[in-house]
Amino acid sequence: MYTQGLDQAGYDTGYAQDDAALAQRFQARVDAEDKIEPKDWMPDAYRRTLVRQIAQHAHSEIVGMLPEGNWITRAPSLRRKAILIAKVQDEGGHGAYLYSAAETLGVARETLVDQLLSGAAKYSSIFNYPTLTWADAGAIGWLVDGAAIMNQIPLCRCSYGPYARAMVRICREESFHQRQGYELMLALCRGTEAQKNMAQGALNRWWWPAVMMFGPSDRDSKHTTQSQRWKIKRFTNDELRQKFVDFTVPQAEFLGLTIPDPELRFDADTGHYEHGPIDWSEFDAVVKGNGPCNRERLAARRTAHEEGRWVREAAAAHAAKQALRRAAEAR
Amino acid sequence: MTESHQGWPLYEVFIRARAGLDHKHVGSIHAADPAMAVEHARDVYTRRGEGVSIWVVPAAAITASDPDEAGALFEPARDKVYRHPTFYDIPDQIETL
């Protein structure tokens, strides 16, 4: 999901440099479902993993504002426009919660932002796809936020306190995102033939990217075991993906839409839907920077950062001046 | 918790959900000055009516206890069970005590 970069990279997880007794006590606390707080001792690898995961998650929220932001000026009604603005604003807020959580681990906000803008940091592959029609705004809420919720609910019980608390707040707000998206799709599916076709087109384009959001299959994900031992991650990529498919297929049926997977079938024995093979070469290309919109997304973030520079500088100058004035008055 | 090296300072944010309740820590925010910190805290932490009052405190102004000394600080309270009402054995027929 937001840790796709972690799943991909080879990553050291050893305790080699840490005091074995401290590490043992740390693991015992985690095993006992005790929460780890910022000033507590923690293994370096735990800290590094969390910084990377939380930062990737934060970057995903910030970049995630762009695909839907694309439709704010063209929302078909004032109601839909107000909803979309609120949703995009929430995503900015979620990014802010998460950056704050990452900062409790000793990394500076500017460092994280620099890593995003330089392209060194990853964010979720899903936001590198374009939003071609209005129905995409619905498909994102329904599928992308739906997949995000699957991933985020277990993160509310993550062993690191500040991350878990940020996730509780985010999950409370995320449900609105998914519901408004499904309602948007429902309105299109109950509309004209052309509107329904637009909804089907959006499902066709977003289904597989949404399924891939959960990251590589468990067979190929190097990261799962250590993250699970640390109780950062509670379920494997494939477990969460299965849950998403099981929840979503009946929702598509209700809309009268067809999931673009000819091999999709319900297995009465297991009670689960089985999906066809996933094209991991597409996923790899998008994660490595060659998705349809990777360059465009980063360019948009860089422009926003540069165009905001004078505001940041003016605010800092004003604050410095006010501080000087207060100091002079105090004398 | 960390002071950012070149950007705006960090403020811890506390929110009173409604009159009659304590202000509670909800997270942190970067801002150029305290007034901006209140505005940013409003936008980030109270988009759905979560509060009626906001406090912001420079993170650098907070002094916290050391988790490594938690034993020395808090253990002495643990064995004083007589500070709790359940320590005292009162006959069942005394119902209003």
Q: What is the pLDDT of residues B39-52, one digit of tens each?
A: 999 999 999 999 99
For residue B67, name the pLDDT band (cuts at 50, 70, 90). confident
Written as one letter, the residue type at A76 is P
Residue A178 or A7, more confident = A178
Q: Do A322 and B33 touch (CB under 8 A)?
A: yes
**Whether the predicted pLDDT of A223 surpasses 70:** no
* B69 within a domain of the structure (yes/no): yes
Position A250 scores a pLDDT of 97
For residue B5, name the pLDDT band (cuts at 50, 70, 90). very low
Q: What's the mean per-residue pLDDT of chain A?
A: 92
* B32 within a domain of the structure (yes/no): yes
Whether the Cβ atoms of residue B52 and residue B28 lie closer than 8 Å to each other: no
Domain count, chain B: 1
Position B69 scores a pLDDT of 87
Q: Do B67 and A104 touch (CB under 8 A)?
A: no
- pLDDT, one tens digit per residue, over A157-205 is 999 999 999 999 999 999 899 999 999 999 999 999 999 999 999 999 9
For residue A240, name the pLDDT band (cuts at 50, 70, 90). very high
* B46 within a domain of the structure (yes/no): yes
Q: What percent of chain A is predicted at pLDDT more than 70? A: 94
Residues in chain B: 97
Q: Do B7 and A315 touch (CB under 8 A)?
A: no
Phi, psi of B11 (to 5 degrees): -120, 140
Chain A interface disruption, residue of B3, B8, B62, most A CBs within 10 A: B8
For residue B3, name the pLDDT band (cuts at 50, 70, 90). very low
Written as one letter, the residue type at A191 is G
Which of B4, B43, B67 lies at the smallest CB-CB distance from A40?
Answer: B67
Q: Which domain holds residue B15?
A: 10-83
Which of A109, A166, A322 lies at the smallest CB-CB distance from B30?
Answer: A109
DSSP structural state of residue A186: H
Whether the Cβ atoms of residue A185 and residue A139 lie closer than 8 Å to each other: yes
Least confident segment among A15-24, A32-41, A107-116, A121-130:
A15-24
* B41 within a domain of the structure (yes/no): yes
Q: Do A316 and B32 touch (CB under 8 A)?
A: yes
Distance, in Å, from the CA atom of A141 to the CA atom of A203, rounded to the nearest integer, reads 12
Written as one letter, the residue type at B7 is G
Position A319 scores a pLDDT of 92
* B95 within a domain of the structure (yes/no): no
Position A120 scores a pLDDT of 93
Enter the tokens of residue A70: 């694309």
Phi, psi of A279 (to 5 degrees): -85, 90
Distance, in Å, from the CA atom of A68 to the CA atom of A133, rounded to the nearest integer, reads 10
Position A224 scores a pLDDT of 63
* B91 within a domain of the structure (yes/no): no
Query: pTM of the entire structure?
Result: 0.90
Least confident segment among A101-105, A149-153, A221-225, A227-231:
A221-225
Residue B73 or A73, more confident = A73
Enter the tokens of residue B11: 């403020």
CA distances from B94 to B89, B90, B97 (A): 11, 7, 6
Distance, in Å, from the CA atom of B25 to the CA atom of A129, rounded to the nearest integer, reads 37
Q: Do A37 and B28 touch (CB under 8 A)?
A: no
Position A5 scores a pLDDT of 53
- Who contacts A96 (Cβ-Cβ below 8 Å, separation ≥6)? B29, B44
Residue B7's closest chain A neighbor by CA?
Answer: A110
Q: Do A38 and B1 touch (CB under 8 A)?
A: yes
Angle of CA points A34, A39, A43, to nearest 5°? 70
* B1 within a domain of the structure (yes/no): no
Residue B15 touches partner A, C-beta closer than 8 Å: no
The mean pLDDT of A225-242, rounded to a whole number, is: 92
DSSP structural state of residue A223: S
**Whether the predicted pLDDT of A10 surpasses 70:** no
Residue B35's closest chain A neighbor by CA?
Answer: A319
- pLDDT, one tens digit per residue, over A54-102 is 999 999 999 999 999 999 999 999 999 999 999 999 999 999 999 999 9
DSSP structural state of residue A126: G
The mean pLDDT of A242-266, rounded to a whole number, is: 98
- pLDDT, one tens digit per residue, over A275-320 is 999 999 999 999 999 999 999 999 999 999 999 999 999 999 999 9
Whether the Cβ atoms of residue B16 and residue B22 lie closer than 8 Å to each other: yes
Residue A38's closest chain B neighbor by CA?
Answer: B1
Cβ-in-10-Å burial (0-12, 13-18, 19+) of B78 comes to: exposed
Enter the tokens of residue B51: 């509060």
Residues in A closer than 8 angstroms to B66, CB to CB, are 39
* B30 within a domain of the structure (yes/no): yes
Position A2 scores a pLDDT of 63
Position A11 scores a pLDDT of 44
Which of A108, A316, A323 lies at the smallest CB-CB distance from B5?
Answer: A108
Chain B interface disruption, residue of A41, A103, A310, most B CBs within 10 A: A103
Residues in chain A: 331
Residues in A closer than 8 angstroms to B26, CB to CB, are 169
CATH code, B62: 3.10.20.520
Enter the tokens of residue B56: 């912001």
Position B2 scores a pLDDT of 38
